[in-house]
């Protein structure tokens, strides 16, 4: 594992700009953390507390299996967010969210499609094929979904891509 390079950081920052100006810098300051990655394709991205980063730098002889909070993967110029990446972004940004009611949230956490009737509000920029953050409360993203039809729509409108119910089904 290693800290991201300046070039990698610039790509990640550009991706996060869609959720608010300078989000990455604010994020790093608030959490006193930095981004780390591994040499792989795609590259996993981790938010690593500063003290842990210092320890990892001093211990190159034994690499951890994982470190910090897994935020997603960098694939070329695109970041694909993990559940925790989406959660952390959702705490700081209104962009890209679809708010659902209790029923929609419950179904989503079972990995089921969200019906248009369950949608309370959505980012106007959400288009068919785009990936949105699903939440019941504005600052608690429950996962990511793909838009199936113009929102809110009727019937299946959002297809789950990753939901926090995964932690029960497979997480351990």
Binding residues (CB under 8 A) for another protein: these are 31-33, 47-52, 54-56, 58-59, 61-62, 64-70, 82-84, 87-88, 105, 109, 136, 140, 142, 164-165, 167-168, 171-172
Query: Quick one: 35 or 74, whose CB is closer to another protein?
Result: 35
Query: Quick one: 48 or 151, whose CB is closer to another protein?
Result: 48
Query: Quick one: 18 or 66, whose CB is closer to another protein?
Result: 66
Q: How far is the CB of 46 from another protein (least distance, A)?
A: 8
- In sign, the C-alpha dihedral spanning 8, 10, 16, 18 is negative
In whole angstroms, what is the distance from residue 108 CA to residue 29 CA?
32
What residues contact 116, with CB distance under 8 A and at least 6 apart?
A: 149, 151, 152, 153, 154, 155, 156, 157
Q: How far is the CB of 48 from another protein (least distance, A)?
A: 6
Instruction: Decide if 111 contacts 169 (C-beta within 8 A).
Output: yes
Query: Quick one: 70 or 148, whose CB is closer to another protein?
Result: 70
Q: How far is the CB of 88 from another protein (least distance, A)?
A: 8
Q: How far is the CB of 37 from another protein (least distance, A)?
A: 14
Instruction: Decide if 48 contacts 59 (C-beta within 8 A).
Output: no
Instruction: Decide if 126 contacts 114 (C-beta within 8 A).
Output: no
């Amino acid at each position: 594992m290693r800290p991201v390079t300046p070039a990698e950081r610039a790509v990640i920052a550009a991706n996060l700009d869609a959720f608010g100006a300078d989000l990455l810098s604010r994020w790093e300051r608030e959490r006193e953390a930095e981004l780390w990655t591994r040499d792989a394709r795609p590259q996993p991205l981790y938010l690593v507390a500063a003290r842990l980063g210092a320890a990892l730098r001093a211990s190159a002889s034994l690499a951890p299996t994982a470190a910090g909070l897994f935020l997603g993967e960098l694939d070329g110029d695109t970041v694909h967010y993990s559940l925790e990446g989406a959660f952390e972004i959702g705490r700081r940004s209104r962009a890209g969210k679809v708010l659902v009611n209790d029923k929609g949230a419950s179904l989503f956490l079972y990995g089921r499609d969200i019906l248009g009737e369950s949608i309370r509000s959505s980012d106007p920029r959400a288009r068919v094929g785009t990936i949105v953050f699903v939440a019941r409360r504005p600052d608690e993203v429950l996962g990511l979904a793909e838009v199936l039809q113009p929102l809110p729509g009727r019937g299946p409108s959002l297809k789950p891509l990753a939901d926090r119910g995964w932690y029960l089904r497979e997480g351990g």
